[in-house]
Chain A
Amino acid sequence: NAGVMQNPRHLVRRRGQEARLRCSPMKGHSHVYWYRQLPEEGLKFMVYLQKENIIDESGMPKERFSAEFPKEGPSILRIQQVVRGDSAAYFCASSPGDSPLHFGNGTRLTVT
Chain B
Amino acid sequence: AQKVTQAQTEISVVEKEDVTLDCVYETRDTTYYLFWYKQPPSGELVFLIRRNSFDEQNEISGRYSWNFQKSTSSFNFTITASQVVDSAVYFCALKSGAGNNRKLIWGLGTSLAVNP
Which chain A residues have a beta carbon within 8 Å of chain B's beta carbons?
A: 31, 33, 40-45, 48, 55-56, 58-59, 89, 91, 93, 95, 97-98, 100-106, 108
Contacts and interface: CB of A to CB of B under 8 A. Distances in A.
Contacts of B43: 89, 105-106, 108
Contacts of A40: 108
Interface of B: 35, 37, 42-47, 50, 91, 93, 100-102, 104, 106-109
Contacts of B42: 105
A42 B109 contact: yes
B110 to A, nearest CB: 11
Contacts of A104: 44
Given A42-B91, A42-B109, A43-B91, A105 B44 contact: yes
Contact of B47 (A55, A89, A98, A102): A102
